[in-house]
């Protein structure tokens, strides 16, 4: 059996080992491969970047631990941008594990910029029947969430939510909220915010999505319903570049790129082996 014949029948274990090695190398020693920034990410960045200091960004964690590798870097990037712009941040979760995931991420960026919990940002957590709560918050956040944050602290004790504070966030509508960002892995998610809040009150909204959900969301960007889109881990890396955030997603994108190159190389070798093997046999 000559070389090209062997290329047609590469042991699958060799393929797995090569892909594992190239991805591991990229994780241990990131290559910093160049990234072309997509238009949807630029749109999302510019939407947030157009806000003024003191404006309010509503962040929703509509995902579970299985999507952390893709969405956590997006949370860090968006939170970094928000606090860097001196925006106020309110977080909620349509998914019951979402806030426990994003709490330390947002807290990390808040501490980096010297932001104080209760003054610059608040975590409202998850509530059962989250979609009903979402709709109820349009008329009053305190009543909708039972008057407490995710830790059981009365909202009246948090300046950002205190009714006596003229700059408090008291309702989920355009009077109090300037942008909605949803970190989403499925339903419920951005479409629910679009249906119940964003369209009715004309609030800009964009999702940060796992890659598999991106194709279905592009129509909303093209129609203008979404003010941009952060597409998967690559989108997280793009947004981190634009926002000047720590490049936590770059390692993952390097591994993805090298893994794809390795798979492409094996496909090329297999096809060459088939073509040249047939030629030699003739």
pLDDT at 233: 86
| Contact indicator for 51, 87 with CB cutoff of 8 Å | yes
pLDDT bracket for residue 248 (50, 70, 90): confident
| Contact indicator for 151, 122 with CB cutoff of 8 Å | no
| Contact indicator for 118, 132 with CB cutoff of 8 Å | no
Higher pLDDT, 5 or 153: 153
Q: Is the pLDDT of residue 8 over 70?
A: no
Q: Is the pLDDT of residue 281 over 70?
A: no
Report which of 255, 192, 197, 243 is spatially closest to residue 75, judged by C-alpha positions. Answer: 243
Q: Is the pLDDT of residue 186 over 80?
A: yes
- Spatial strand order in the sheet of 56-62: 121-126, 88-93, 56-62, 179-184, 205-209, 230-231
One of 3.30.70, 3.40.50, 1.10.3470, 2.40.128 is the CATH number of 39-247, namely 3.40.50
Q: What is the pLDDT of residues 87-97, one digit of tens each?
A: 999 999 999 88
Q: Is the pLDDT of residue 189 over 80?
A: yes
Residues 6 or more apart from 216 whose CB is under 8 A from it?
A: none
Q: What is the pLDDT of residues 105-127, one digit of tens each?
A: 999 999 999 999 999 999 999 99
Exposed e or buried b per residue across 63-74, where buried means at least 16 C-beta atoms within 10 angstroms of its C-beta: beeebeebbbbb
Residue recorded with tokens 């003010």: 227
- pTM more than 0.75: yes
Per-residue pLDDT, averaged over 59-86, amounts to 94
Helix spans in the chain (H) = 3-7, 12-28, 39-49, 68-84, 98-112, 130-136, 141-144, 190-193, 199-201, 214-223, 232-243, 250-281
Pair of tokens at residue 273: 């082996």
């Amino acid at each position: 059996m000559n070389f090209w014949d062997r290329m047609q029948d590469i042991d699958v274990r060799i393929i797995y080992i090569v892909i594992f090695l190239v991805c591991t190398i990229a994780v241990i020693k990131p290559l910093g491969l160049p990234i072309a920034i997509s238009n949807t990410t630029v749109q999302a960045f510019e939407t947030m970047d157009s806000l003024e200091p003191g404006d309010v960004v509503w962040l929703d964690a509509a995902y579970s631990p299985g999507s952390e590798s893709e969405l956590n870097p997006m949370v860090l990037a968006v939170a970094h941008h928000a606090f860097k712009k001196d925006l106020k941040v309110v977080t909620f979760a349509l998914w019951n594990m979402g806030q426990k995931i994003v709490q330390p991420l947002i807290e990390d960026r808040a501490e980096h910029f010297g932001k104080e919990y209760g003054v610059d940002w608040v975590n409202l957590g998850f509530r059962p029947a989250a979609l009903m709560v979402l709709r109820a918050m349009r008329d009053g956040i305190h009543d909708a969430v039972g008057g407490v944050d995710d830790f059981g602290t009365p909202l009246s004790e948090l300046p950002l939510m205190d009714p006596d504070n003229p700059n408090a966030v008291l309702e989920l509508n355009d009077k109090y909220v300037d942008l909605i960002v949803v970190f989403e892995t499925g339903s419920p998610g951005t479409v629910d915010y679009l249906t119940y809040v964003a369209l009715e009150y004309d609030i800009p909204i964009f999702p940060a999505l796992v890659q598999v959900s991106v194709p279905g969301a592009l129509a909303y960007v093209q129609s203008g319903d979404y003010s941009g889109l952060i597409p998967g881990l690559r989108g997280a890396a793009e947004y981190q570049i634009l926002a000047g955030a720590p490049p936590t997603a770059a390692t993952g994108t390097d591994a993805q790129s090298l893994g794809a190159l390795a798979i492409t190389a094996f496909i090329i070798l297999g096809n060459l082996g088939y073509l040249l093997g047939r030629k030699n046999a003739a």
